[in-house]
Amino acid sequence: MKKTVLHIGLDDIDSPEGGCTTHLASILVEELSKEALEFIDYPNLIRLNPNIPWKTRGNGAVALRILVNENSVDRVINKVLHVVEKYIGEFSKEKSQPSAVFLTGNIPSKLRWFSRKTVKDIVPINLAFKVVDKVKAKAISFNGKRGVIGALAAIGEPLDNTDYTFELIAYRVEENYGKPRLIVKESVLKMDKLFGTQTFLNVDYEIGKVLITPHGPDPVLLGIRGENAEIVLEAFKKIKVLEPIERWVIFRTNQATDMHLAEVKYVKEIKPYMSVILKGYVYEKPKTIRGGHVVFSISDSLGDTISCIAYEPTGSFRNIVKQLIPGDLVKVYGGTRPPSPTHGLTINLEKLEILRLAEHIAYRNPKCPKCGKTMKSAGKNKGFKCPNCGFKSKTISKICIKIPRKLRPGLYTPPPRAFRHLMKPLQRYGKEKKTPPKNIIPKWHHP
């Protein structure tokens, strides 16, 4: 019997009140495992543009990729739709626009292009439908069509020529939704000690906060992010969980890869909601504004300037930012916020690379040549006078001193608690992957 690859994309299943696209994917994995088909990859969790205003949480979409008998494709699609509909009936709320997209065969380059655009930019719904037509995909939406964008984009990013990581996500039983998550903190700290080089964003030591558990009423109990599937599973086994686990699944994902960032040369290339890397000179020195946020601006080689902001939740990162002075050569990384009546187009800082420090020169009043005390201005254009011995001089001028810089060139990131899904932590530098795992044996556990 001839077989074909069927890609299943899902998005916008979730709402702030409950439900979650990855949770539905984990249920589908269980249902599809009962069929005569083969998963050719771990379920893929593809994070899309983190700056879009209408995301519920982390703008994540999921793709399942299976090898199936050609004549079973329609039956499998119907089964998927049946499970999706049932899930939506239980969990999805008014504002979500759940969608499922199906594609058989290889992934056309047009679709790959669309996916990268969806990770980096805002895409209109009609573009998604144009691509659906062009690549002969099948898109089914419930309650509005917006979810098709993410579901299609997930299919088009098979993580085969790019960096990737893994996340094991464990889910709660429904009775516990909304209740505090019962995880023993010490076991997370222990796990982090054991696997901290191969897993990431487990704990924020600056404030002693465990980061593997979300806080909302959603079905996710915990997520462990790491470099490979074996490690996240080993790390998971070390966590003491004092509540029932409904199921867990290991996703292969573009999280922690910086896939969203696009290097731009000039400010004029930057559009709202993009995520960019821009090199420039610090133009206006950082100032702390209401709420504890720190703002400064940089200028590009054309002299155009743009504001950059390190928000209060970026904690100690702001202490680095505050030490910048005009003339420092930096690279700023971050998502752009559209202009408003109170501010211009602004880069929300995710990372800061200090390339070259300017000299910090300050001017001080001179010392009195007679008694050595610090002189004072004698008035505009009148030189200096000594408050101690009365010596006056019109020829003495201010002395220029070089203030040592405490800051060092290098790459700086906010503390782990301020990380968003796509941001690459420092510890991942040098661990980037270029090819998919050799032996793909998807791993999950259902009751």
Q: Which residues bind ligand ATP (CB under 6 A)?
A: 11-12, 14, 20-21, 48-49, 52, 54-60, 96-97, 118, 121-123, 146-147, 149-150
- Tell me the Cα Rg of the chain: 27
Residue 87: count other Cβ atoms within 10 Å of its Cβ: 20
Nearer to ligand ATP, 94 or 186 (CB): 94
Three-class SS of residue 50? coil
Nearer to ligand ATP, 122 or 182 (CB): 122
Residue 258: count other Cβ atoms within 10 Å of its Cβ: 19
Q: Bridge-partner residues for 109, per DSSP?
A: none
236/168 Cα distance (integer angstroms): 8
Provide the b/e sequence for 62-82 (b: ≥16 CB within 10 Å): bbbbbebeeebbeebbebbee
236/2 Cα distance (integer angstroms): 39
Tabulate helix, strand, coil % of the chain (nearest 5): 25, 30, 45
Q: How far is the CB of 218 from ligand ATP (least distance, A)?
A: 7
Residue 57: count other Cβ atoms within 10 Å of its Cβ: 15
Q: How far is the CB of 295 from ligand ATP (least distance, A)?
A: 26
Taking phi over 0 as left and psi of -120 to 50 as alpha, with beta for the rest, 410 belongs to left
Amino acid, single-letter form, for residue 285: K
Burial class (CB in 10 A: 0-12, 13-18, 19+), 191: buried
Nearer to ligand ATP, 20 or 309 (CB): 20
> Among candidates 157, 122, 29, 133, which has minimal Cα distance to 337?
122
317/161 Cα distance (integer angstroms): 32
Nearer to ligand ATP, 72 or 99 (CB): 99
Nearer to ligand ATP, 20 or 168 (CB): 20
Q: Which residues contact 318 (CB under 8 A, 6 or more apart)?
A: 288, 292, 293, 294, 310, 312
Q: How far is the CB of 267 from ligand ATP (least distance, A)?
A: 22
Q: How far is the CB of 313 from ligand ATP (least distance, A)?
A: 18
Tracing tokens 């949480």 back to the chain, one arrives at 57
Q: How far is the CB of 76 from ligand ATP (least distance, A)?
A: 23
> Among candidates 162, 160, 165, which has minimal Cα distance to 253?
165
Nearer to ligand ATP, 273 or 391 (CB): 273
Q: How far is the CB of 50 from ligand ATP (least distance, A)?
A: 9
358 φ/ψ angles, rounded to the nearest 5 degrees:
-80, 160
Q: How far is the CB of 213 from ligand ATP (least distance, A)?
A: 15
Q: How far is the CB of 342 from ligand ATP (least distance, A)?
A: 25
Question: Strands 360-364 and 305-310: what pairing?
Answer: unpaired
Nearer to ligand ATP, 96 or 336 (CB): 96
Q: How far is the CB of 73 from ligand ATP (least distance, A)?
A: 24
Nearer to ligand ATP, 57 or 79 (CB): 57
Nearer to ligand ATP, 176 or 187 (CB): 176
Q: How far is the CB of 336 from ligand ATP (least distance, A)?
A: 13
Q: Which residue is nearest to ligand ATP (CB)?
A: 150
Nearer to ligand ATP, 119 or 320 (CB): 119
Q: How far is the CB of 55 from ligand ATP (least distance, A)?
A: 3
Nearer to ligand ATP, 110 or 408 (CB): 110
On whether the CB atoms of residues 62 and 444 are closer than 8 A, the answer is no
